[in-house]
Amino acid sequence: MYTSRPGDPGIDRKYEEALIAAETRMGQVHPARVAGEDIHTRETFTVWSPIEKTLKTGVFQQCGMAETKAAILAANETYADWSHTPWEARCACINAAADRLEEEYFHLAALITLECAKTRNEALAEVGEAVALLRYHSTIIRDNDGFTRSMPADTETDRYESVMRPFGAWAVISPFNFPLVLGAGAAAAALITGNTVIMKPASATPLSMLTFCRILEDAGVPAGAANCITGSGPTFGKVISRSPGIAGLTFTGSRDAGMWLRQEFTTHQSYPKPVILELGSKNPCIVTAKADMKKAVEGVIRGAFGFSGQKCSATSRVYVEQLVFPTFAEILTDQAGRCTTGDPREQGVFMGPLIDSAAKERFDAAVASVSAAGGEILLGGRSFSGKDTHGAYFAEPTIVTGIPHDHPVMKNELFVPLVVLTMYNGIGEGIRRANDTEYGLTAGIFSEDPKEVEAFFSDIRFGVCYANRKDGATTGGWPEYQSFGGWNGSGSTGRGVGGPYYLLSYMREQAQTRLAK
């Protein structure tokens, strides 16, 4: 039976205690945060937990044009002092924030579970990754001596240097599925390199980033250098895309929303400014005849159905060599059918509910389109909600096969627990078909043949690639060990989060020449 990973009894106890405490504080009114002050607006919006539709996460401020402009102004007014703060002092603030995250480890994990319905192990892992990411940012700054490098000089008294400098006020827009780490990682990267930030979390999950904003202030980041506004609708995107006070932006989310924002930002700014896009994907896994079937099955299940498939790195296309296709399909279907689905607060649950009704509708439409195309549903295909689920929306782990390669389910990111199996012949064909997508975030292979693995790494056109990873065929990563960034339609910079080059995206080079008199 597939469940969340067994935990340490002490860890489980601390998490459960934090969960009880967090639930008692649900439903409170949460102000936005601008220039170190609480901001209340005339209009508010209520967020309900995806676990129970009667569990109110909180009441949040519907920030509009005025609040967004105020946050941009605060970030610009603070920029001069913060950018001139020595990099060592900025690193100290970010490390202090990492320490605070670690102190609030179980509390933050509980918030993540309640906000987006992650299981305890997924939620705990996200907090741990956020801690590691902030500390890794500091390590990279230190290892590169603040990104100042001496260049060859003509004389002993001349001084030539290459200095990486920040841009200014930076907007960070983060998604619902990793409500802490994807916003915190980008915001910390901008701050540690000398920029100031305006954070805008997803309207479905604003609480984690509001908490992080206060943690940054407590860690010594000056008021106004880190701001967090909340709200739903396109107001924030429209204001920042047209504001000359925004020097750069980071967006993590869907391809359509990201491309729209990039176009708006490019069109309405008076000169080119940096845009970091981390978008979706349609991630393939190749299973060859030389694969370890046990590892491959576990890797695909964890990659496809972890967090109910609501990850940009979720395994969604599996290419299985014809010789082993029947065996693999049979074992995968049997094992995936044992996934435990239910309340993610309960120990042992592997799949919690979907984030909202739109996800359920997307799942239902995908299943219907597979049937209409003559495809075969090997497992699952059913969604459900109602009184028995406390209003939450669930979808079964679903495996389908027999649809054309140009079918929308093969091409479009779905963010639901549905994976497609397809046969191929020969490693070359498997790689070619895996590459047949506009996306390029993550990809995996299962093979015990080193030549096949090396062929995969040589020719696959994805930014994050895994071989024989049973903990997730196309998912997973950790700062310093695996950078995380997409190619093609999945990203804009080619530099992965948590890798040695990521911080360079938040800086620009200045050549400084000092000649002797």
Contacts 24+ apart (CB under 8 A), 80-83: 81/222, 82/191, 82/194, 82/195, 82/196, 82/221, 82/222, 82/225, 83/165, 83/166, 83/194, 83/195, 83/196
Nearest to 469, CA basis, from 323, 281, 286: 286
Mention every residue, 6+ apart, whose C-beta is less than 8 A from residue 514: 158, 159, 160, 161
Cα gap 170→48, rounded to integer Å: 29
Mention every residue, 6+ apart, whose C-beta is less than 8 A from residue 436: 405
- In a 13 Å sphere around the CA of 102, the CA atoms on its Cβ side amount to 11
Q: Is 278 a catalytic residue?
A: yes
Q: Is the dihedral of CA 435, 437, 442, 446 positive or negative?
A: negative
Cα gap 472→429, rounded to integer Å: 23
- Sheet with strand 159-166: strands edge to edge: 148-151, 159-166, 507-514
Contacts 24+ apart (CB under 8 A), 87-91: 87/141, 87/146, 87/147, 87/192, 87/194, 88/146, 90/141, 90/191, 90/192, 90/193, 90/194, 91/137, 91/138, 91/141, 91/142, 91/192
Catalytic residue (one of 126, 278, 298, 396): 278
In angstroms, the Cα distances linking 495 to 135, 193, 362, 467, 472 are 18, 16, 31, 21, 22
Q: Is 91 a catalytic residue?
A: no
Catalytic residue (one of 93, 312, 396, 413): 312
Q: Which residues are catalytic?
A: 278, 312
